[in-house]
Amino acid sequence: MGVNLDAKTIALIGVGASVGANCFPCLEQKVTEALKAGATVEEIAQAVQLGEEAKIQPNQGIKALAEMLLQNAQSLLNRGSAGGCG
């Protein structure tokens, strides 16, 4: 790629990604790395906010699917199992 990001930027990206992934141990590690790399509390808070914003659309999508499934509960029963993840 040819671009080398500094340690602070990498750690802040990691903070946002950790929040987006809901990874508790990752977040603790990345916040510590960001602080050690010179990030301010305000910069880390902004990275946290960006991670939260990245989750908004998927959360809205799954909520809409759940509402649709509940509205069509009887047809789901008539149809039988659609597979799933477990």
86 falls within a domain: no
Q: Report whether pLDDT(24) > 80.
A: yes
* Residue span of the structural domain in which 64 resides: 7-76
Count of C-beta atoms within a 10 Å radius of residue 5: 11
Please tell me the pTM assigned to this model: 0.71
Mean pLDDT of 6-14: 98
34 falls within a domain: yes
> What CATH number did the domain enclosing 72 receive?
1.20.1290.10
The reported pLDDT for the residue numbered 75 is 84
Average pLDDT, the chain: 90
How far, in whole angstroms, is CA 30 from its chain's centroid? 14
From residue 75, how far is each of 11, 25, 61, 79 by CA, in Å? 48, 41, 21, 6
The string of pLDDT tens digits covering residues 48-78 is 999 999 988 888 888 899 999 999 888 878 8
The reported pLDDT for the residue numbered 41 is 98
Total of domains in the chain: 1
